[in-house]
Structure 1
Amino acid sequence: MTNQLDAEDRNSLPESTFAFPRERKEPLTDAKHVRNAIARFDQVRDVTDQERDEAFRRIKKAAKKHGVQMTETRWQELGKPSAGRKSSDKPKSKAQLYSEARARGIEGRSQMTKDELIQALSKKR
């Protein structure tokens, strides 16, 4: 089976192939689809916590079968950017740091490296 499922392929799959069989959401036919199911887990709507528990078990089993490494131990961790990490925690670019330094009136910012901008911004809070 190829990585791409058209509507006919998808419709012909047994319910047991899906992470969420009642909704026929997130097929687990190969490694690519397993990774996709992990990434989109929290986007599936109108399912109960019990269905999420069952889907998580299916995904873990399919991940093992298709050689996909999972670090998540609970379904509540699936689909998040990184476990325990908010999108606002992402490292800022030098341009973003420079803009923040300009807004805060930090002198000498145009000559600073990224690390120096980080240090200057952390001092001037």
Structure 2
Amino acid sequence: MAARRQRTHELDAADRNAMPDRTFAFPRLRKEPLNDATHVRNAIARFDQVRDVTDDEREEAFRRIKRAAKRYGVDMTERHWQELGKPTATMKSSDKPRTPTKARRNQPRNAWSRDELYAEAKRRNIKGRSAMSKAELVNALEGR
């Protein structure tokens, strides 16, 4: 049986250079590609980290991200570009994902919450963790 190659969402320089400007949230700078759901989620999360752009460029980037989110089925609740990339005002420190406690670590991983699994995957630097489901996180943490 031939091994299937797992598709990654990483773009190498050749792929990125071959993409037209219109596929980027910020076309002038060619920042934040919007070519799949993973990159759209990344553009949403990193929106406020893009430097040297005007408010008009941010407004246009926001429209591009909204269109791409709809195209790729990414949930986007923000209504204005000023809301992107920032924690919500109602987020409390207790809402942040926590690493599992010692007692929790003795339980099977499928009993952990997705946030706990994600925090552990982040601690272990598992690549692709943000796009993984709970079951995929369990498998990745168990080395399957």
Letter of the 1:91 counterpart: S
Work out the CA distance in 2 between the residues paired with 1:48 and 1:20.
10
More off after superposition, 21-30 vs 3-12: 3-12
- 2:4 — aligned with what? none
- CA gap of 1:2–1:17, structure 2 versus 1, over 3 A, is farther
Higher relative contact order (CA 8 A, sep 6+): 1
1:91 to 73, 91, 94: 94
Q: Please state if 1:50 is matched with 2:53.
A: no
- 2:18 — aligned with what? 12
TM-score by length of 1: 0.67
- 1:63 — aligned with what? 69
Residue 4 of structure 1, CA deviation: 1.5
Work out the CA distance in 2 between the residues paired with 1:67 and 1:2.
19
Instruction: Report the count of equivalent residues.
Output: 90
Letter of the 1:90 counterpart: S
Q: Give the structure with the larger helix fraction.
A: 1
Work out the CA distance in 1 between the residues paired with 2:86 and 2:16.
26
Residue 2 of structure 1, CA deviation: 5.1
Work out the CA distance in 2 between the residues paired with 1:2 and 1:64.
22
Letter of the 2:38 counterpart: K
Counterparts of residues 72-111 of structure 1 (less than 5 Å): 72-81=78-87, 83-85=88-90, 89-91=92-94
Unaligned runs of 5+ in 2: 1-6, 96-144
Please give the root-mean-square deviation of Cα atoms over the aligned residues, in Å: 2.0
Letter of the 2:94 counterpart: P
Residue 91 of structure 1, CA deviation: 1.7
Letter of the 2:50 counterpart: V
Work out the CA distance in 1 between the residues paired with 2:38 and 2:12.
15
Work out the CA distance in 1 between the residues paired with 2:89 and 2:17.
36
| Structure 1 stretches of 4+ moved >3 Å | none
Provide the secondary structure at the position in 1 that maps to 2:15: helix
Work out the CA distance in 2 between the residues paired with 1:71 and 1:91.
21
TM-score by length of 2: 0.59
